[in-house]
Structure 1
Amino acid sequence: MNNNNNLDEVLSRNSVKPSKGHGSKIRWVIIGIIGLVILILLGIGGNYLHQRSDFTAKDVNSSKTIEIKVPRGANADAIGQQLEAAGVIKYASAFKNYVDLNNVNNLNAGYFTLSPKMSIQTIVKHLQQPGALTPNGNDLQPGFVLMREGENAAQFAHNVAKQTKFSAKDWLATLNDQAYLQKLAKQYPDLLGSAINAPTRYKLEGYLYPATYDVRAAKTPEQITTQMVAKTNQVLQPYFAEIKKQKLTVQQILTLASLVEREAVTPHDRGTVAGVFLNRIDDKITLGSDVSVKYALNTNKTNLSIADTKVDSPYNLYKYQGFGPGPFNSPSLSSILAVLHPIDRDKKYLFFIANLKTGKVYFTQTIQEHDALNAKLVEQNNNTK
């Protein structure tokens, strides 16, 4: 027992006792660390807010010009990232924020020559103008016209007026000229048999194949139209028998293809979107495509209102069942083949939705799944602004 007591005494004498102020020092260190973290977070947050609100030029003294190609269907987020990566603007987030704050919904595709000395406001104004059709800021030479994939007749008419001696009005008139159309129908019966008597805005909408045309020798606007219809007939010639076998008309195929053209980008997505439309037609459900409403309203605005989707037009496929009167634009062969060979019809998809930030398209079978997915995407996109 005595030995144990001695040992306890020795240990007691040699043990380290905390000084009176040791605990308080630790507390102050912890408080200091927390304060530093708060300052860092405030700095990061402040920097983020600054970036989103900095609409000034990247370099007001720059003499450099940079050509940007804005792809068709690119949204403000994608364009902003492209501009930042190319060195035109400081922050992609500022571009996106400016577009959102100012309700800009008419940014165009094409080639644009921009500069780091431009403010975001100036850049947006440039992008609201039609982009050049070819690189290096040059449009096509006079006498050549380009019908772009997904472009409609009214849009293309401006190219005709710009590149030829014919006015947009005179060229558009050829698309409904009954005497001229009857001659074309006799020349291309397989192609135009279902188009001539359809109650469409323009009888030849959708039958003007997207391509570049040399029309320098054209003496009348009809000769331009004939060249374009002949190209469509050439492209579709191998598929006329298949269209008949599927018990669909060329008009129906081109109408669905024109919707697919604007609703999807990749061949796989186009095939699945085509399957969704065909499933909805079989189930007697309206196609509910924004593309149809925009055509009905003659608008290119990005976001449609509830009132827009209720417009009383045969082209409004929110309101009316079936294919609609006819094509909404000039579809590519890729979209036409997607309708002829749809994908995943056996999965019974009836809905699709695209993430506007990533471009990914999601497919669902029920309205409940669709609404839940839509809510989830909205939340995700709002949290990543």
Structure 2
Amino acid sequence: MDSKRYGYRGAIVVLVLCALIGWIVFSPPQNFPKEIVVNIAKGSSAAEVVAQLAEAHIITHPELLRIALHLSGGSLRIQPGPYLFNTPENIPTIAYRLMSGNFGIPSARITFREGETVREIAKRVHEALSSIPVSTFISAAQPYEGYLFPDTYLFLPSSDAEVIIQTMRENFTAKTAVLTDAIEQSGHSLIDLVTMASLIEREARSIEVKRMVSGILWNRIRIGMPLQVDAVFGYIYGRDTYSPSFADLKVDSPYNTYLYKGLPPGPISNPGFDSLDAAIHPTSTEYLYYLTGKDGLMHYATTYSGHLANQKKYLR
């Protein structure tokens, strides 16, 4: 009888202890601050993160959060960045946020279109994140023209130019990974393919037309004919539109594909996947000329006289 009584008492004690631990774990601190941002640095250990949160009065039982983080994967899974705390949160919630990168801060959603230049991208970035000056972004991103993959991104308000550029470059690598073997087998360097893709992006829309234009431009390079791509003048003059004059055709710029043969020294825009694919897989053709008519269609010719006939027929 006494053993049963002691057994009941022991069970009650265990239940009380479990309830107490549960209350401690799931109850946020009484003095939980409001509207505080804690910046977790990249590479911070679990112990360092716990100490930061304890110092900011986000938690009152550091050892419990340390255990929760350890059970969840430890320091390697903690996502760096700014975490906003504006309402009391318990240990499991905080641990989950740290592991999932739930910063609690509304992200800036930015969509970059295929064929935009670094200059155009910089303007979009500044519109969404005014703390990043256009000139600052251009200076940091200019060396990576062509490799900033057009896509929709979410950036924290605290993001700087370097973070955005790195994210876009990593996306380029990830999205084009399936083309690695084709690039190696193409006989062209990556920089040449990206440069060609940047021209194609500005000249054509559908994948079929992109591949045809690619075939024509590679044909011109093969026979030593100038590429004569009008889109380069928008890049040369920093304009969104490009309707070159006769004077423009003679401007002494290495990007002037009327004046200098071969590809320009680098990409003139940031092409999408289809344009890069078209640069790698051009349509085999005898055509050397193309134009977009007033009917919105692309018209091709093998000779200059045929091209002039197309101009007369489709542009007037």
TM-score bracket for the superposition, by shorter chain length: 0.5 to 0.7
In 1: Cα distance, 2:135 partner to 2:242 partner: 27
CA–CA distance in structure 1, aligned partners of residues 157 and 240 of structure 2:
33
Q: State whether structure 2 residue 156 is matched by structure 1 residue 156.
A: no
Residue of structure 2 in register with 1:262 after alignment: 202
Please list, as runs of the form range in 1=range in 2, the aligned pairs for 1:302-317 lying within 5 A after superposition.
302-317=242-257
- 2:153 alignment partner, SS class: strand
Instruction: Tell whether 2:312 aligns with 1:375.
Output: yes
Aligned position for 1:229? 169
Superposed counterparts of 1:278-289, under 5 Å? 278-289=218-229
> How far apart are residue 217 of structure 1 and its match?
6.1
Partner AA of 2:315 in structure 1: V
| 1:12-58 CA-partner distances (Å, limit 9, x unpaired) | xxxxxxxxxxxxxxxxxxxxxxxxxxxxxxxxxxxxxxxxxxxxxxx
Q: 1:364 aligns with which of 284, 301, 304?
A: 301
How far is the alpha carbon of 1:302 from its aligned partner? 4.5
Which residue among 199, 211, 216 is the counterpart of 1:271? 211
TM-score if structure 1 supplies the norm length? 0.52
Please give the residue correspondences for 1:1-385 in structure 2 after superposition, counting only pairs within 5 Å. Answer: 143-164=108-129, 165-175=131-141, 202-216=142-156, 218-343=158-283, 345=284, 347-355=285-293, 357-379=294-316
CA shift for structure 1 position 240: 2.1
Q: Output the aligned Cα RMSD.
A: 1.6
Between the aligned partners of 2:146 and 2:301, the Cα distance in structure 1 is: 29
**d(CA) in 1 for partners of 2:173, 2:209:** 26
Identity among equivalent positions (%) equals: 30
State the AA in 1 paired with 2:117.
N
Please tell me the residue identity of whatever aligns with 2:116: E
Q: Which amino acid aligns with 1:149?
A: E
CA–CA separation in structure 2 for the residues paired with 1:362 and 1:270: 13
The letter of the residue matching 1:307 is A
Distance in 1 between residues matched to 2:190 and 2:235, nearest whole Å: 20
Would you say how many aligned residue pairs link Structure 1 and Structure 2? Answer: 210
C-alpha contact (below 8 Å) 1:353/1:361 kept by paired residues: yes
**Is the CA contact 1:293–1:317 (under 8 Å) kept in the aligned structure 2?**
no
Q: Distance in 2 between matches of 1:330 and 1:252?
A: 13
Q: Secondary structure at the match of 1:331?
A: coil
- Kindly indicate whether the alpha-carbon contact (under 8 Å) linking 1:142 and 1:163 is maintained by their aligned counterparts in 2: no
What 5-or-longer segments of structure 2 have no aligned partner?
1-105
2: CA distance, partners of 1:302 / 1:316 = 13
**Displacement, 1:150?**
1.1
Structure 1 SS opposite 2:198: helix
Structure 1 counterpart of 2:263, one-letter code: F
1:208 deviation in Å?
0.4
The 2-side partners of 1:313 and 1:366 are apart by: 27
The answer (yes or no) to whether the contact 2:231–2:242 under 8 Å persists in 1 is: no
Q: Supply the AA of the counterpart residue of 2:118.
A: A
Q: Is the 8 A contact 1:218 1:224 kept in 2?
A: no
Q: Distance in 1 between matches of 2:308 and 2:216?
A: 16
Contact 1:145–1:214 (CA under 8 A) maintained in structure 2: yes
- Shift of residue 218, structure 1, vs aligned partner: 4.7
Q: CA deviation at 1:144?
A: 2.3
Structure 1 SS opposite 2:110: strand
Report if aligned partners of 1:275, 1:342 keep a CA contact under 8 Å in 2. Answer: yes
What is the distance in 1 between the residues matched to 2:126 and 2:226? 37
